[in-house]
């Protein structure tokens, strides 16, 4: 078989294997608890393909995509930013506060929001970066703590500067003219697609260009692959840690914007949390590649949207989908590892055969993919 096709098939095998495995596990759980198997899957597929659902999937996918990109920036450098959750909440609060008070017209309001949210999210993540570089605090622990602190801080600020609306306390409602308009992208859908999907696409392109086509991106990836080699070639790793934490946090700041400008038009105590953790799962699923992550985000959004009517239609608790998401993440990383081992063995056997036959060894690896990317390994604190 041609080496390049073979390599492509093998790398496709991992996600397919993982999704199949998770479907099997989920089905087993459904059977074991006596829930209707056929009806559940039928609902998931039917509901997911309705026009309205597709619009919802795109809207939710936008948010997951931004969150996953924020995590991916850290991953590429072996930094584990678990704090996307706190960062987007602080940033969304700041952006909603500014937009609610200033009432700028539409495109301008978004530009300002991107700047405010980017700066706030970046600074919040920067605390973790500073602590890592200056005080040697592991970023996993500091960002977990900062998540909890963000919850308290934002709640406090809301009580100080927000306004009461029903049981909720929110920032001032964003004026009609400042909101992000919906686009009727999906024919037959009653729900429009949030125009901030453009922001996600731009973010994806920027992510790819910066990482793959700039000197900074090269340094970032080099530090992620081998810190020792990076130091030896003159890269200031401490500076890289600070900058990539700022960038990761800045990207995290974008996560809340589609919700603030397209759905709730304010930031309140009931603003959805936990999107940062979904981002981690999606980034892993898409292997930190902008296109792969987009597929991951859409898959997770699809599952989420399709799960909503399960309770009504099939009397199945929609949390079955959370189980499925968890299994997918675990299965994906395991199958990537299995595929990697298979590849190594495959390569070794080919070399051995070639050597035994006395032939000259020709390199068969495709140029685009010299080595299979490794899982991010933890840098020691």
Partner 1 sequence: MSAPGVQVGTERVPETTSRRRMLPRVLLAIAGLLFLLSLVRVITGANDIASAGTISATLGLAVPIAMAGLGGLWAERAGVVNIGLEGMMILGTFGAGWAGYQWGAWAGVITGLLLGGVGGLIHAIATVTFGVDHIVSGVAINILGLGATQYLAAVAFEGVPGGGSTQSPSVPDLPAVTVPGVADGLGTIADKQWFFISDVAAALRALTNNVSVLTIIAVVLIIGTYLILWRTAFGLRLRSCGENPAAAETLGVNVYKYKYIAVLVSGSMAGLGGAFLAIVASSSYRDGQTGGRGFIGLAAMIFGNWRPGGLAAGAGLFGYTDALRLRSGGTSVHALLLVLVFLMVVIAAWQIYRRQPLIRPVITGGFAALILVWFLLTDVVPADFTGMTPYVATLLVLALASQRLRMPAADGLVYRRGEAG
| Given 12, 148, 209, 344, the residue binding partner 1 (CB under 8 A) | 148
What are phi and psi for residue 247, nearest 5 degrees? -65, -45
Q: Residue 311 CB, nearest distance to partner 1 (Å)?
A: 9
Site for partner 1 in 338-357 (CB under 8 A): 338
∠ CA 320-323-327 to the nearest 5 degrees?
A: 140
Would you state the torsion angle of the CA atoms of residues 251, 293, 267, 107, taken in this order, to the nearest 10 degrees?
Answer: 70
Q: Say whether residue 281 binds partner 1 (CB under 8 A).
A: yes
Binding partner 1 by CB under 8 A: which of 69, 119, 131, 298?
131
Q: Considering only residues 208, 216, 277, 295, which one is a binding residue for partner 1 as defined by CB under 8 A?
A: 277
Decide: 131 and 262 in contact? Cβ < 8 Å: no
- The correct pick among 317, 346, 354, 366 for binding partner 1 (CB under 8 A) is 317
Question: In sequence order, what are the beta bridge partners of 268?
Answer: 170
Instruction: Please tell me what DSSP assigns to residue 262.
Output: I
| R_g over Cα of the chain | 23
Binding residue (CB under 8 A) for partner 1 from 156, 161, 218, 342:
156
> Scanning the structure block, which residue is given the tokens 């390049």?
4
State yes or no: residue 155 binds partner 1 (CB under 8 A): yes
Q: Which is nearer to partner 1, 277 or 295 (CB)?
A: 277
Contact between 193 and partner 1 per CB under 8 A: no
Residues 6+ apart with CB under 8 A from 62: 194, 196, 197, 199, 200, 258, 297
CB-nearer residue toward partner 1: 110 or 284: 284
DSSP annotation string for 39-54: HHHHHHHHHHTSHHHH
Report 1-40 residues binding partner 1 (CB under 8 A).
Answer: 29, 33-35
Q: How far apart are CA 368 and CA 4, in angstroms?
A: 10
Tokens of 57: 């999937």
Backbone φ, ψ for residue 183 (5° rounding): -115, 135
Query: Least distance in Å: CB of 126 to partner 1?
Result: 14
Q: How far is the CB of 144 from partner 1 (least distance, A)?
A: 5
Contacts of 268 (CB under 8 A, 6+ apart): 158, 162, 165, 168, 169, 170, 171
Question: Judged by CB, which is closer to partner 1: 144, or 201?
Answer: 144
Question: Least distance (Å) from partner 1 to the CB of residue 188?
Answer: 32
**Under rule CB under 8 A, residue 102 binds partner 1:** no
DSSP 118-185: HHHHHHHHHHHHHHHHHH---HHHHHHHHHHHHHHHHHHHHHHH-EEETTEEEPPPPPGGGSPPEE--
d(CA 128, CA 143): 6
Nearer to partner 1, 82 or 174 (CB): 82
Min CB(69)–partner 1 separation in Å: 17
**Is 149 an interacting residue with respect to partner 1 (CB under 8 A)?**
yes
**H or E element in which residue 193 lies:** strand 193-194
Query: Least CB distance from residue 41 to partner 1, whole Å?
Result: 16
User: Contacting partner 1 (CB under 8 A), which of 31, 103, 159, 272?
Assistant: 159
Point out which span in 145-153, 191-199, 240-248, 350-358 binds partner 1 (CB under 8 A).
145-153
Q: Which is nearer to partner 1, 35 or 168 (CB)?
A: 35
How many residues bind partner 1, per CB under 8 A?
Answer: 51
Question: Can you give the binding site for partner 1, defined by CB under 8 A?
Answer: 29, 33-35, 80, 82, 131, 135-138, 140-142, 144-146, 148-149, 151-153, 155-156, 159, 277, 280-281, 284, 317, 319-327, 329-330, 333-334, 337-338, 375-378, 380-381
């Amino acid at each position: 078989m041609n080496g390049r096709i073979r390599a492509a098939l093998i790398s496709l095998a991992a996600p397919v294997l993982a999704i199949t495995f998770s479907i099997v596990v989920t089905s087993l759980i459904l059977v074991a608890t006596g829930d209707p198997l056929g009806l559940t899957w039928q609902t998931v597929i039917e509901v997911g393909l309705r026009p309205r659902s597709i619009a919802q999937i795109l809207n939710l996918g936008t948010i997951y995509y931004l969150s996953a990109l924020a995590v991916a920036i850290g991953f590429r450098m072996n930094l584990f930013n678990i704090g996307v959750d706190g960062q987007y909440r602080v940033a969304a609060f700041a952006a909603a506060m500014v937009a609610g008070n200033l009432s700028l017209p539409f495109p301008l309001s978004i530009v300002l929001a991107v700047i405010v949210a980017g700066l706030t999210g970046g600074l919040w993540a920067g605390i973790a970066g500073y602590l890592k570089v200056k005080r040697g605090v592991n970023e996993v622990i500091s960002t977990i703590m900062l998540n909890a602190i963000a919850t308290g801080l934002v709640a406090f600020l809301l009580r100080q500067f927000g306004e009461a609306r029903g049981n909720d306390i929110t920032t001032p409602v964003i004026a009609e003219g400042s909101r992000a308009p919906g686009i009727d992208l999906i024919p037959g859908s009653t729900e429009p697609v949030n125009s901030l999907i453009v922001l996600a696409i731009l973010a994806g392109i920027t992510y790819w260009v910066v990482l793959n086509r700039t000197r900074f991106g090269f340094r970032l990836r080099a530090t992620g692959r081998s810190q020792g080699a990076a130091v030896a070639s003159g890269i200031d790793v401490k500076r890289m840690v600070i900058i990539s934490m700022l960038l990761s946090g800045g990207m995290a700041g974008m996560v809340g914007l589609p919700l603030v400008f397209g759905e709730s038009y304010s930031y309140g105590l009931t603003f959805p949390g936990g999107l940062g953790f979904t981002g981690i799962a999606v980034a892993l699923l898409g292997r930190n590649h902008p296109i792969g992550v987009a597929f991951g985000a859409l898959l997770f959004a699809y599952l989420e949207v399709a799960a909503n009517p399960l309770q009504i239609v099939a009397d199945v608790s929609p949390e079955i989908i959370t189980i499925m998401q968890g299994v997918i993440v675990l299965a994906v990383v395991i199958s990537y590892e299995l595929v990697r081992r298979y590849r190594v063995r495959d390569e070794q056997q080919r070399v051995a055969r070639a050597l035994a036959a006395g032939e000259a060894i020709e390199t068969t690896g495709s140029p685009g993919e010299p080595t299979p990317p490794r899982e991010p390994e933890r840098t020691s604190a």
